[in-house]
Structure 1
Amino acid sequence: MGQLTTHVLDTARGKPADNMNWALYRADTERTVLATGCTNADGRNAGPILAGADFVSGIYELVFYVAEYFRNGGIELPDPAFLDEVVIRFGIAEPHSHYHVPLLISPYGYSTYRGS
Structure 2
Amino acid sequence: MSTETTASVSTHILDTSAGRPAEGVAVHLSARRGPHAHWRTLGGSATDADGRCEDLPALPEGTTHVRLDFAVEPYLGRSAFFPEVAVTFAVVPGEHHHVPLLLNPFGYSVYRGS
TM-score bucket of the superposed structures, by smaller chain: 0.7 to 0.9
Contact 1:101–1:113 (8 Å) recurs in 2: yes
Could you tell me whether the CA contact under 8 Å between 2:31 and 2:63 is conserved in 1? no
User: Aligned equivalents of 1:54 and 1:31: distance in 2?
Assistant: 12
Which of the residues 18, 22, 26 maps onto 1:21? 26
Q: Secondary structure at the match of 1:54?
A: coil
Contact 1:25 / 1:60 at 8 angstroms: preserved in 2?
yes
Matched, 1:67 2:92: no
Match among 93, 96, 101 for residue 99 of structure 2: 101
Distance 2:61 2:23 in 1: 25
Rounded Cα–Cα distance in structure 1 between residues aligned with 2:86 and 2:65: 13
Structure 1 unmatched ranges of 5 or more: none
The partner residue of 2:53 within 45, 52, 55 is 45
- RMSD of aligned C-alpha atoms? 1.8
What is the alpha-carbon distance in structure 1 between the residues aligned to residue 88 and residue 28 of structure 2? 12
Aligned equivalent of 1:54: 60
TM-score under structure 2 length normalisation = 0.82
Aligned pairs, number = 106
Structure 2 unmatched runs, 5+: none
| Separation of aligned partners in 1, 2:63 and 2:75 | 30
2:31 equivalent to 1:31: no
CA contact (8 A) 1:26 1:34 kept: yes
Deviation >4 Å, runs of 4+: none
What is the TM-score when the length of structure 1 is the normalising length?
A: 0.81
The Cα of 1:56 is off from its aligned counterpart by: 3.8
Q: What secondary structure sits across from 1:99 in the alignment? A: strand
1:33/1:57 CA distance change after superposition, 3 Å: closer
Displacement of 1:32 in angstroms is: 2.0
Equivalent residue for 1:9?
14
Contact 1:66-1:107 within 8 A present in 2 as well: no
Report the identity percentage. 38
- Cα distance in structure 2, aligned partners of 1:38 and 1:25: 15
